[in-house]
Amino acid sequence: MLTNSSMPFEPSKASWLLAQLQKELERRAANCRLTDYRPYPKQREFHAAGAIYRERMLMAGNQLGKTLAAAYETAMHLTGQYAPWWDGKRFNRPVRWIAGSESSELTRKGVQRLLLGPPENENEWGTGSIPKDSLVDWSRKQGVPDAVASILVRHVSGGISSIQLQSYDQGRSKWQADTLDGGWLDEEPPLDILTECLTRTNTTLGPIYITMTPLEGVSEVVRRYYLEKVGHLTMMTIFDVEHYTDEQRAAIIATYPEHERKARTEGIPQLGSGRVFPFDRAQVACQSFEIPAHWPQGAGIDFGWDHPSAGVRVAWDRDSDTLYVTAAHRAKAQTPMLFAAATLPWGVWLPWAWPHDGKQSGGKFDAQDQQQLQAIYKKHGLAMLFQHAQFEDGTNGVEAGITEMYERMETGRLKVFAHLLDWFEEFELYHRKDGLIVKLNDDLISATRYAIMMRRYFAMQKKPKKVREEEHGAAPRADGLGWLA
């Protein structure tokens, strides 16, 4: 005879128990999301760079997972609970951190929500990247509903980590703190706040990382990582994430105005009202090849110091009237002697075009300075042309030069060797604001323009002197640009 204790469960009771078990599993999973984080390759690249670089930036489009990645990394540092796949920087002790965004509201909606959980529901705090059983305490931010000012987190070593939540609109003084182990800036910070965070981590040399969509163009902060190559930059596009289908990607891209698409979907800095050269890189790039001996060649230079000095070598296929940029050099605060040493291997015989007025290329040199500079570069071995860059009619307008470059790109008559990444970096950032060309980050572009303007003085590569004398039986011209009949 079966007793009540030995009778099998009724189907309805078994279903209820299974449902309760499922709810409990879901609750536990929600309270420990940190163990479920699986980064995309670009996110993992960003994390891994922390093992080497103190400063990092994850520049990505909207809704691609940049803030999420930083939230999980921050939680790992605060708790010491690093994933088995983790190959970034590690701390084996409690840490002191700081994080924030543009405003208190945005900090609450972004940083706080992803660290803790829904701001408006304290019962669900612990469903963010910081596990619930690691939360020790928090303090409220006065004057901002549902916002917290700081969080205390239990570290696996037994100690307590802390993180302060701030906002950029509070000003630099609010970011002043005692020594910190690291910081996370979500969306682009003012340069003084970035500097303050670096200052507060100077003792520990702890990591500072920025996650942002570059909607403000090439600002001081973007320039620091994108152009000056300080720290490590990871760029993540809509094509690097797996939570969209191809159809969804196409629909998302189509929703943005053309001048915002690159920034919002690929993390490429927004360029105001539009690029000067609105062509795909593939339309201008070509694979490198050996320049035929009968093609004349020349070079162009844009003088600089605070902004880089830049030089390009250009070859001219006169049969098709196509110009090829075959070499490029760009360096900040480089003396004429060092610049010449870097570019003389291109050919001591190359004629160099140089600018008349540096103000046209974003510099601070006047015409007299340019004359003096070209003489210095000539002294160090560069064959500087006898006059500044100008068209055959004697004019040297920027817009006229840009128009010629545009038309040549449009018709396939200006090509650039694909490996010249610095040149293409400027090409893709060169833009207008309110209809006017923004004269920043255009050093190689300007050097190219000068060379194109003076292509009538290009020269063919000279053969060794003995061979020249045997073939020509003539004397070289005084200006070094050919042979006398």
Would you name the residues annotated as active-site residues? 187
429 CA to centre of own chain: 11
Q: How far apart are CA 97 and CA 203, in angstroms?
A: 14
- Start-to-end C-alpha separation, the chain: 125
Q: How far apart are CA 464 and CA 483, in angstroms?
A: 14
Residue 256 structure tokens = 């943005």
If phi > 0 it is left, if psi is from -120 to 50 it is alpha, else beta; for residue 272 that is left
Side-chain half-sphere of 449: how many Cα atoms within 13 Å?
24
Q: How far apart are CA 485 and CA 483, in angstroms?
A: 6
> In sequence order, what E strands does 187-339 have?
208-212, 232-236, 274-275, 285-286, 297-302, 309-317, 322-331
Cβ 352 vs Cβ 373: under 8 Å: no
**Beta strand pairing status for 322-331 and 182-186?**
unpaired
Nearest-CA neighbor of 60 among 253, 215, 219, 257?
215
Residue 191 structure tokens = 């340069």
Question: Could you give the C-alpha distances from 136 to 67, 121, 144, 373, in angstroms and in order?
Answer: 23, 17, 22, 64
Q: Is the dihedral of CA 215, 363, 444, 344 positive or negative?
A: negative
Nearest-CA neighbor of 426 among 413, 437, 410?
437
